[in-house]
Chain A
């Protein structure tokens, strides 16, 4: 929030002139009938996406020349808001003249870009990017019908944010490389989640298979596990300072068992490790004396010195031992 956000932007003011013009007067609105296509020796494909009860629905018509798979004409019908109608209109325009294989490569990003007045200014406000996704979905569906394959087969990777077309693999990579910890950071780095917001968490405008919150949580968990594994590996090679607390306690116990405990037990005493705290300079190991060691004069002098120097030698020169 800042001065620019104090007065919310008017939705319609953020539409490009092209969106406004096409909403007011769509160029390819209408139908192509089976009979019309047949009379020209062409094949008609009609695909629906969405439904009135969802808030937007589009019906795409393709008249295809079967000799070369070229879409010779295309029309649409749309139940939706202004940006849905304008997106559908520009979608049909982008399809005309292309082969089915070429058309299936048209994404929602292309649709939105074609609606821009100038290349640097978005055609629609962020929450309306979603409308162009419908265009992309219905093209895949039409192509699937023509080629007799499932629409999903045109998608090579898992797209998490459809508005910005950000894939699962990209998200995982960006979270890792940049050590991202919040959804806001993910949106800043990838644009994912910055538009209709459905992909952020369940309960948004659309139900999704993947949500950013889950991807972030799972990736962070993987990163933590890797860090721990790295620390464990560091333990094996003797890098005490980089071990986890549990590993450090285990390492200290191992040294005590090997080189210290037997001498304490001989004198009727023992000790236990209470805690380990790391500061910039020292690694402080808090211990408690047990049995005869408790109150023994040497426990604060000679014995303590022996324990500390053994641990220093075996684990890290920064160790201090503090009896409590």
Chain B
């Protein structure tokens, strides 16, 4: 059996989505900007996709939802264009974000710092969440933008977007949220709270890779990132990616119709897996389960290094993810893991399991049994569980070489 438990990285494209996309490759391939019927014949499908996205997020008709190539583009667009509009061509010089954002926010912030922008990186609490009141205390009259993720890719923890939105509205500061891990997993109603910009990506909710969007409240000003033609009302140039837009519309509709019901089903399976893991001694789950996306578990298994765990799970054909430094190209510990700071070991032992609506009960049973076996084998090798103590003088000083 193969079990895919890495749905926060990407998801399987729903076959219904593929089916909806297929006619727009070789049958209706016209450029929607063309005047002839080859071009215009795709307009009804595009209009439907736009409707599907607006409906899924309960966006107002006065808002813009602009299709982009991915959420990384959407995040870059907001940050870089706010820099152009309000720092280069305005009197602001400050942005507020968090320590646990996706690299497409953090790396862009570092780039903006090189351009002279001051950035405040808000810390998270032991639940891995930014508390709304900390946002308030860092906003100054020079603050152009606050950017806080809706839910964490690593922990699944949901951030207080409604409260932060109110603070930003009160202070007159623009508010952006990277909604990638929230949309399709939990209800997102853009008219029930105040947020100026929201980034999203279709491949996180069973749509295709290479298509995302940026929500822009009330069609407000935001200098384009990509200049060119008059596509998407001039907001984002580049020939409309017709099949992928159609796919994203279908995917978001499927992911958000009856979302409470679907989420409850996923949550039930997730909780069963989580309960079984908690039965193993010396395991720690990050974050209160009630305030988490219903599909995500981040667990620390004492004495078992994350890459080893991933290795053993992979041998059992289970795909998961680790924030362990050892598994990264540059041996850098995951920033989100370090920011939570519950203990340093989390940075080396964290395993993330993320389910989807396609995860079955049989797969959960299989995953539980393999997880238990992997922990058993790796702990039998682990020095953390050795019984014979070192010769006097042979003890290791805690972390004598490495950064904690």
Contacts and interface: CB of A to CB of B under 8 A. Distances in A.
Interface of A: 8, 11-12, 23-24, 26, 29, 31-34, 44-59, 61, 77-82, 84-85, 127, 130, 141-142, 145, 196-198, 204-207
A197 B388 CA distance: 34
A128 to B, nearest CB: 8
Contacts of A8: 329
B404 A53 contact: yes
B324 A82 contact: no
Contacts of A32: 388
17 contacts: A48-B394, A51-B398, A52-B348, A52-B383, A53-B398, A55-B402, A59-B386, A78-B383, A79-B304, A79-B383, A81-B306, A81-B326, A82-B307, A84-B326, A127-B330, A141-B394, A205-B325
Interface string B343-366: 111011100000000000000000
Contacts of A29: 380-381
A56 B305 contact: yes
Nearest to B314: A12
Contacts of B331: 127, 130, 196-198, 204-205
B401 interface: yes
A44 to B, nearest CB: 7
A314 B351 CA distance: 78
B89 interface: no
Interface of B: 302-308, 311, 314-315, 324-327, 329-333, 343-345, 347-349, 380-391, 393-404
Contacts of A77: 381-383, 385-386
B388 A82 contact: no
Nearest to A195: B331
Contacts of B305: 55-56, 79-81, 84
Nearest to A49: B396
A37 to B, nearest CB: 10
Contact of A48 (B324, B327, B395): B395
A47 B329 contact: no
A47 B394 contact: yes
Given A29-B381, A205-B403, A145 B326 contact: no
Contact of B330 (A78, A82, A197): A197
A55 B348 contact: yes
Nearest to B309: A81
A65 to B, nearest CB: 16
B396 A50 contact: yes
A57 B391 contact: no
B382 A79 contact: yes
A52 B399 CA distance: 8
A57 B388 CA distance: 15
Nearest to A36: B388
Given A53-B344, A54-B401, 14 more contacts: A24-B315, A31-B386, A31-B387, A32-B388, A45-B394, A46-B394, A50-B402, A54-B400, A58-B383, A59-B383, A79-B383, A81-B326, A145-B393, A145-B394
